[in-house]
Amino acid sequence: MTALPNPLLNGFHPDPSVVEVDGVFYLATSTFEYLPGIPIHRSTDFRTWELIGHVATRAGQLGVDGVPTGGGAWAPTIRHHGGLFHLVITDAMGRGMLHFTATDAEGPWSDGELLRKADGSGTIEGIDPDIAWDADGTCYITFSGLQLSGALDPNQPAHLGIQQVKVDLNAHRATEEPRSLWSGTGLMFPEAPHLYEVDGNWYLMIAEGGTERGHAISVARGDSPEGPFTGAPGNPLVSARSTPRPVQNTGHGDLVRGPDGQWLCVLLGVRPRSGTRAFSALGRETFVTPVTWSDGWPAVAPVELAPRPGTRVEIDFSEALDGEWIGVRRLPSEIAALEDGRLVLTADGSTLGDAQPVFVGRRQEHLTNEVTVRLDVAVGVGGLAVRYDEQFRIELEAGDGTLTARAWIGGLHQEWRHPLAGDRVELHLASRKPAAGGGLVSTSDVFHLGATVDGERVELAQIDGRFLSSEVTESFTGRVIGVYAVRGRIAVERWISEGNDE
């Protein structure tokens, strides 16, 4: 099999899970506080992936409207059984552990049923659920026993290791109390369990070591989905820690047979830059790597970097918004409308520092990237922004006769101003490699913020991109670039995004 492109999905697409149905592959990833939630990509060759829909497209399916930053849709598992697609996920600090179904992976998906404890007192407490069935049809939910509720210290929640319960899917209730399974080699945060039956053996694959540089994948084997499990002699099977590999944090994987029968592992990873490869601008992306078997054990190859060619996306808003547009704790349709070939946003008093801003955006997919938007700000104030979360963002704003560039870095705030004559303006937000110099390059990239007014390009600011990286923000997401309104109404007349990974 020739090498597959890597990343498989560019930009913020963590925690991948994949299933094959009749020669077609379906891949789901996490979305945290963004809506629509849980994108589903489809492929027949494992090279070209099409976004065909989302699981959470209606209010109430995910309870993310009030979740804190980093909460929401965590780590789906997608499977197919009994003529239905099944997806289980934890809506962290929201609704809880949920089970969705659909006859077609494009949707519509069900409203999501809570997976309750055996006594019915509440949802099964844990994250990263997996769903599997044995030959008798018994359903198993295997999950990471991270206790998010009632923790004395939110930075040190209790962790009960990898756990499992049998579940009655008709009642959506466990039929027993959670049992502890094999929890890895002793590294922190055993999570992301997946169960597989291969050639009469059951395999439990998990992530451990945390989703940072110590991230790893380990595997154990048993005679039953309930274990007992014995760890593979070569564990951990995957880890990029303490290596010079260009793809780091590799872990949280899912196994599948590829188009030619070759076993593959989809997993998350990051592409750090700087002299010490310290800053990952795009967050956690989806990668793929080959798997071979020997003596009844899988061996997972190190993840190789093989970026795709650059892309250009030009949108004139003459047609409905595609599925790549996302909002923060609100659906794009709740805060944006298409009117006469323009995308119109109406301010509601919120800013990008609020939990539910009037902001719709698209993931930054390339390490080198530039977005240009043409705005009409005759009756409003708004602009173009790159967001990691409420505390880490960059804004390029127009209106009321002023152009303003802002950097919000945690509790630090800086801004640059330039007069604006007229109501129409083109805004430019570029992410570029830092200029070569005599010393060690100590950042991932540099943001260049500018505008074109009456045919003249104005440069407002350059901002160090390291401050919007996953290592600095500690956000689980990635960069999302979009348009926003803070006063009145603004209209977006054109969007152009160009990028590459050179």
Q: How far is CA 222 from CA 195, 205, 254, 297, 485, in A?
A: 10, 11, 18, 11, 55
Domain identity same for 341 and 201: no
Q: How far is CA 98 from CA 113, 169, 224, in A?
A: 5, 11, 25
Q: Look at 29 and 275; give whichever has higher pLDDT.
A: 29
Q: Give 235-257 pLDDT, tens digit per residue.
A: 999 999 999 999 999 999 999 99
Domain identity same for 197 and 325: no
pLDDT of residue 154 exceeding 60, the answer is no
CA–CA separation, 271 and 280 (whole Å): 6
Domain identity same for 226 and 369: no
Q: Measured in Å, how far apart are the chain's first and last C-alpha atoms?
A: 25
Domain identity same for 335 and 430: yes
pLDDT tier at 475, thresholds 50, 70, 90: confident
Catalytic residue among 91, 130, 191, 445: 191
- The residue count of the chain comes to 502
pLDDT of residue 410 exceeding 80, the answer is yes
Q: Work out the average pLDDT over 334-343.
A: 96
Q: For residue 155, what are the contacts with CB-CB under 8 A and spacing of at least 6?
A: none
CA–CA separation, 94 and 112 (whole Å): 13
> Which has the closest alpha carbon to 1: 395, 304, 344?
304
Alpha helices (H) along 260-341: 332-335
Q: Give 92-101 pLDDT, tens digit per residue.
A: 999 999 999 9
Please indicate whether residue 208 is annotated as part of the active site.
no
Residue 204 belongs to domain with CATH number = 2.115.10.20
Say if residue 236 is preceded by a cis peptide, omega within 30 of 0.
Answer: yes
pLDDT of residue 348 exceeding 50, the answer is yes
Q: Phi and psi (nearest 5°) for 472?
A: -85, -45
Please indicate whether residue 15 is annotated as part of the active site.
yes
- How much is the pLDDT for 378? 97
Domain identity same for 221 and 327: no
pTM: 0.96
pLDDT tier at 435, thresholds 50, 70, 90: confident
pLDDT of residue 457 exceeding 90, the answer is yes
Residues 478 and 363: beta-carbon distance below 8 Å = yes
Range of the domain at 375: 311-500
- How much is the pLDDT for 152? 45
31 within a domain of the structure (yes/no): yes
Residues 142 and 195: beta-carbon distance below 8 Å = yes
- How much is the pLDDT for 128? 97
Burial level of 196, CB count in 10 A (0-12/13-18/19+)?
middle
- Please report the sign of the dihedral spanned by the C-alpha atoms of residue 279, residue 283, residue 284, residue 287: negative
447 within a domain of the structure (yes/no): yes
What does pLDDT average to over the chain? 95
CA–CA separation, 216 and 209 (whole Å): 6
DSSP 164-227: EEEEETTTTEESS--EE----SS-S--EEEEEEEETTEEEEEEEES-SSTT-EEEEEEESSTT-
CA–CA separation, 63 and 65 (whole Å): 6
Give the containing element (helix H, strand E) for 308: none
pLDDT tier at 442, thresholds 50, 70, 90: confident
Residues 256 and 26: beta-carbon distance below 8 Å = no
- What 3-state DSSP class applies to 356? coil
CA–CA separation, 171 and 173 (whole Å): 5
**177, 203, 233 — which closes off a domain?**
233
- How much is the pLDDT for 155? 62
79 within a domain of the structure (yes/no): yes
- How much is the pLDDT for 139? 98
Tokens 């829909």, residue located: 53
pLDDT tier at 309, thresholds 50, 70, 90: very high
Domain identity same for 47 and 178: yes
Side-chain-side CA neighbours of residue 72 (13 Å): 26
Domain identity same for 177 and 323: no
pLDDT of residue 293 exceeding 70, the answer is yes
Q: How far is CA 61 from CA 65, 76, 116, 244, in A?
A: 11, 14, 16, 42
Q: Work out the average pLDDT over 429-458.
A: 87
- How much is the pLDDT for 254? 98
Domain identity same for 187 and 59: yes
Tokens 């965590």, residue located: 74
Q: Work out the average pLDDT over 456-461.
A: 94
pLDDT of residue 307 exceeding 90, the answer is yes
**Percent share of the chain, pLDDT over 70:** 97
CA–CA separation, 331 and 404 (whole Å): 27
260 within a domain of the structure (yes/no): no
Tokens 């700087």, residue located: 274
**180, 211, 233 — which closes off a domain?**
233
- What 3-state DSSP class applies to 215? coil
- How much is the pLDDT for 327? 98
- How much is the pLDDT for 153? 58
- How much is the pLDDT for 41? 98
User: 83: how many CB neighbours lie within 10 A of its CB?
Assistant: 6
Number of H helices, E strands in the chain: 2, 36
368 within a domain of the structure (yes/no): yes
- How much is the pLDDT for 275? 84
- How much is the pLDDT for 156? 64
358 within a domain of the structure (yes/no): yes
pLDDT of residue 349 exceeding 90, the answer is yes
**178, 199, 233 — which closes off a domain?**
233
Domain identity same for 370 and 486: yes
pLDDT tier at 292, thresholds 50, 70, 90: very high
Q: Give 163-178 pLDDT, tens digit per residue.
A: 999 999 999 999 999 9
Q: At 311, which amino acid appears?
A: T
pLDDT of residue 476 exceeding 80, the answer is yes
Q: Phi and psi (nearest 5°) for 275?
A: -60, -30
Q: Give 77-110 pLDDT, tens digit per residue.
A: 999 999 999 999 999 999 999 999 999 999 999 9
154: left (phi over 0), alpha (psi -120 to 50) or beta: alpha
Domain identity same for 23 and 157: yes
pLDDT of residue 183 exceeding 50, the answer is yes
**In this structure, are strands 113-114 and 263-270 parallel, antiparallel, or unpaired?**
unpaired
Domain identity same for 177 and 322: no
Q: Which two tokens stand for residue 334?
A: 């709740």
Domain identity same for 171 and 78: yes
Residue 366 belongs to domain with CATH number = 2.60.120.200
pLDDT tier at 229, thresholds 50, 70, 90: very high
Tokens 């922190």, residue located: 188
**In this structure, are strands 368-387 and 480-500 parallel, antiparallel, or unpaired?**
antiparallel
- DSSP E strands, 329-439: 336-339, 342-346, 359-363, 368-387, 392-399, 402-409, 412-419, 424-432
Total structural domains within the chain: 2
177 within a domain of the structure (yes/no): yes
CA–CA separation, 410 and 35 (whole Å): 24
Alpha helices (H) along 243-359: 332-335
